[in-house]
A and B are shown apart, each in its own frame.
Chain A
């Protein structure tokens, strides 16, 4: 029996463990790496450091080391051998480490990263998250607003979106631009022909179309098995449609110039009455309050419903699914702008950006380094980089046909797609316009709708404001209103109940919220 040997091993293990523990204790007593921690352990200072020493030429030759943290929407991601990544490094003279974080856990990972004090050079962050706002306020990130004008691409950033994505009026991150007027109404084209209706130009026409889809047997099977539009537990479509009716986009200016939340406007109630009518007449699916958003498209693809109110590019997806079932030349789906309502032609915009890319002060220490990093971000706006990160390498991932991009990758060729996947997450789309994907009929229509939308979108005046009350109670307040809306639509509460819910909202902190937003709004003017 080798008990003795075992014992010695245990003693050694014990010794190691004790040493380990002591070292941890020692490490912890010094604090956990707050904002003023001068020495992160990652070797972050290479190119920039030597630049600071004055030898500019040598510094330029030395690649800039960058760690970039971005959300991932796939599990097949490029590694160091990806030619796209190598091409990017060559063009920008950098040595890049990509840190992909699955989208569904991005928030947790961001908090952990902030707490650890070891931030990557660049990270994509949610501008609305409380941790980001607090970190920015306490000096985690460079304020880059004053520098942007020095760079050819970044200087073209849209000032309104810059303002929307700022914190307390300061720009701590470069926004990732997105289509502003992204919404649209996708409708089954065959059904429209069958019931003899064309594009719904007004809300009345929209209603008639839904009614016809329910009652006039648009699929021609002789059975009463169709309805108008599909809505799921995700309440986006209601938010969009109430803007059509003239309700503000979250906040609107009242007659006295003060901001009023949307649910306290008369237009909001008008919209809800309309929604209730849709529900009562069976023009929307009866289980909308509980429906799983994962199967949102199914009823349209399977010919049970004919309309979807969401982003315009949903049309492309629905059509894609229907083409998979039975391929044909002509698209199944057509997409239109919002119908005109009593207060004119209005639609809900997106915020114009999806998160911002922030530069951390703990990894990028000097202004010289900052300038090199900004130069990198600026170069990402170049046509070459937008094309590279968006579509890959010409001849390998795509080819140009008549000035349009034609992808050479198919979803099945995972190894090839993988080289490129997720790289577009670092694009800001601030820079010159690049060639487009080859236009199909439906893509063209989506583009038209989204371009035309820019004229009619209603912006949210409170978008750039950061409210303390909302940070504490926002979710509860939102739930009160969202629940009341659904209950009103299905008839569980009447106008009286709706008023009570709004009164509850106000007494639960809503009044403070209104007061704070108005104060911030005044200050920002």
Chain B
């Protein structure tokens, strides 16, 4: 390194520069970074391999959407049909109705169901007797384990006009029975109420974990500052879990057009089908029951593209508003 032999401020600057360029040309900066983080890459590797093997190796399945795939014939020998499946889907006279039903239900879900676990978690957090808090927590998460088939059966038992327990109560009060199960106007509220009943308690767990990570000192400081409980909730608790809320919201948007097939399938009948038909049930009818793999894959692909637009769009928005976002 001859530069060290030279003297004077000019030379020093020059030397620094040349040293940097020499280093840069021989060993690019990223190698140094990788070397420094080598253990992180080791940690990353099993997960990365998992994604490549189990998620990306089977990814050719997406291409089925452009084929007329037959399971026995296999991927390589099935006929390629270009965009025909998509054309059939969009040209389907039911497309607009399916999109509308799916969209409305998804919005209902987002507006009514998504906030429910957050609210319940915050309310639980305000309970100071630990035994009661744990007891309630354990009770509200029980319905998560009851399968949809059973939930649908019990809904029938409670709501039927032919002696359903709840409908009899309605009859005692109002003097008439409400056809909850057949009336199309009741379909969406019913779906949302079922899902709220079944999953709210389960959904609280993740927020409770976030709340458990909130620094106790912050609360103490707020108390010293004279904040009452509502102020503490607003200024300490909510900000602490806001990033989890935002992430869950973004991830939910990625599955925006998924309505939960089994539930809707079970609650659909001849009298409410006009509002109950959604993409997921449609895919079942044309795909699973009739073996139209390619067609149902095409519909899935359409849903995924909508999902990816929403996920990246909302992630971008979240970042603009100063949130962490997905990454």
Contacts and interface: CB of A to CB of B under 8 A. Distances in A.
Contacts of A482: 270
Contacts of B77: 31, 34-35
A11 B52 CA distance: 18
A289 B286 CA distance: 23
B290 A35 contact: no
A31 B74 contact: yes
Nearest to A135: B72
B188 interface: no
Interface in B49-107: 49, 52-53, 57, 70-77, 93-94
B182 A289 contact: yes
Interface string B144-181: 00000000110011001110000000000000000101
B309 interface: no
B285 interface: yes
Interface in A286-301: 286-287, 289-292, 294-295
A25 interface: yes
Contacts of B161: 286-287
Given A10-B45, A21-B49, A287-B160, A475 B74 contact: no
B49 A290 contact: no
A486 interface: yes
Contacts of A287: 160-162, 179, 181-182
Contact of B269 (A117, A290, A475): A290
Interface in B174-201: 179, 181-182
B32 interface: no
Contact of B291 (A7, A34, A134, A140): A134
A294 B160 CA distance: 14
Nearest to A288: B162
A287 B183 CA distance: 11
A492 B57 CA distance: 52
Size category of the binding interface on chain A: 35 or more
Interface in A1-47: 7, 10-11, 13-14, 17-18, 20-21, 24-25, 28, 31-35
Nearest to A480: B273
Main secondary structure of the interface of B (DSSP, over half): loop
A472 interface: yes
A25 B161 CA distance: 58
A165 B45 CA distance: 53
Main secondary structure of the interface of A (DSSP, over half): helix
A102 to B, nearest CB: 14
Contacts of B142: none
Interface in A433-489: 471-472, 474-476, 479, 482-483, 485-487
A229 to B, nearest CB: 13
Size category of the binding interface on chain B: 35 or more
A492 B271 contact: yes
A253 B9 CA distance: 106
B181 A294 contact: no
Contact of B290 (A286, A291, A471): A471
B196 to A, nearest CB: 21
Contacts of A519: none
A131 B57 CA distance: 24
A289 B74 contact: no
Nearest to B75: A32
A259 interface: no
B57 A24 contact: yes
Interface stretch (A48-56, A107-115, A179-187): A107-115
Contacts of A21: 49, 52-53, 57
B36 to A, nearest CB: 15
A86 interface: no
Contact of B74 (A33, A292, A476, A486): A33
A285 B72 contact: no
Contact of B46 (A17, A24, A138, A508): A17
Contacts of B157: 292, 295
A6 to B, nearest CB: 9
B167 to A, nearest CB: 9
Contacts of B45: 10, 14, 17
Contacts of A33: 74
A289 B269 contact: yes
Nearest to B162: A287
Nearest to A138: B73
Interface string B19-52: 0000000000000000000010010011001001
Contacts of B269: 233, 289-290, 486
A490 interface: yes
Contacts of B288: 107-108
B289 interface: yes
A134 B53 contact: no
A117 B181 contact: no
B74 to A, nearest CB: 4
A474 B286 CA distance: 8
Interface in B2-32: none
B86 to A, nearest CB: 15
Contacts of B49: 14, 17-18, 21
Interface string B251-280: 000000000000000000111010000000
Which 8 residue pairs spanning A and B have beta carbons closest together?
Answer: A130-B291, A34-B74, A486-B270, A115-B71, A135-B72, A290-B181, A475-B285, A114-B71
Interface of B: 39, 42, 45-46, 49, 52-53, 57, 70-77, 93-94, 152-153, 156-157, 160-162, 179, 181-182, 269-271, 273, 285-286, 288-293
Interface of A: 7, 10-11, 13-14, 17-18, 20-21, 24-25, 28, 31-35, 107-108, 111-112, 114-115, 117, 129-131, 134-135, 138, 140, 233, 285-287, 289-292, 294-295, 471-472, 474-476, 479, 482-483, 485-487, 490, 492, 508
12 contacts: A7-B39, A14-B42, A18-B49, A21-B52, A34-B72, A138-B72, A287-B179, A291-B156, A292-B157, A472-B290, A475-B285, A475-B289
Given A31-B77, A115-B72, A130-B290, 16 more contacts: A7-B39, A20-B53, A35-B72, A107-B289, A115-B71, A131-B70, A134-B72, A135-B70, A135-B72, A138-B72, A287-B179, A295-B156, A476-B286, A483-B270, A486-B270, A490-B271
